[in-house]
Amino acid sequence: MKPIPSTANQLILVDSNNACIGYSEKLTCHQNEGMLHRAFSVLLFNSQGELLLQKRSQHKMLWPGYWSNSCCSHPYRDEHILAAAQRRTTEELGLKCPLYPIYEFEYFARYKDVGAEHEFCSVFVGVTDEEATACPLEISELCTLGAEEIDHKIKDEPELFTPWFKMEWQTLREQHWGQIETLISTRIAC
């Protein structure tokens, strides 16, 4: 008799409307052209409006050594997206703060011949002045930069950043920046 597979590490497969259509192992979701699955990105700002960026660990299968948003990952089977975002923010950065949904988008990005990200991604923003502690299996380096610095770095050296972060940043700057500035100015940082 086969053992019952664990729901831990099973990601949520979705259609283009973010409706659950099944489950699959994390590795399988990222092989070849990838399988569309639910994911999230967290962007943590401090009270001065600077964004916490992470440099992805060299241990990562996809985009190792690239700069990206503060935290990104996936909810597991039967896990709510916000709970997953809060869990991973604590696991990867040692931080706990309220997270606010901003928008959702679907994207596809291939990394060399290694695999791909095909995700329906929920973007969350939080505000904290607490110091992050990077999990070395996930993150090799952290830094905080102001919005204009990020704009310039992405323009001048786009190859240093993950594709999803560049997409998110452009959308945030063009469509949601007022909402983010309001969150930063009205939230008491954790």
Q: Active-site residue 97, yes or no?
A: no
Of 72, 79, 92, 168, catalytic:
72
Residue with tokens 């983010």: 180
Specify burial of residue 72 (Cβ count, 10 A radius: 0-12, 13-18, 19+). buried
Are 118 and 35 spatial neighbours (Cβ–Cβ below 8 Å)? yes
Q: Active-site residue 72, yes or no?
A: yes
How far is it, in rounded angstroms, from Cα 127 to Cα 137? 24
Tokens, residue 136: 């070395």
Are 16 and 22 spatial neighbours (Cβ–Cβ below 8 Å)? no
Of 119, 121, 138, 168, catalytic:
119
Give strand pairing partners of 52: 144
Closest CA to 142 of 39, 40, 46, 30: 46
Closest CA to 96 of 70, 130, 125: 130
Are 51 and 70 spatial neighbours (Cβ–Cβ below 8 Å)? yes
Catalytic residues: 72, 119
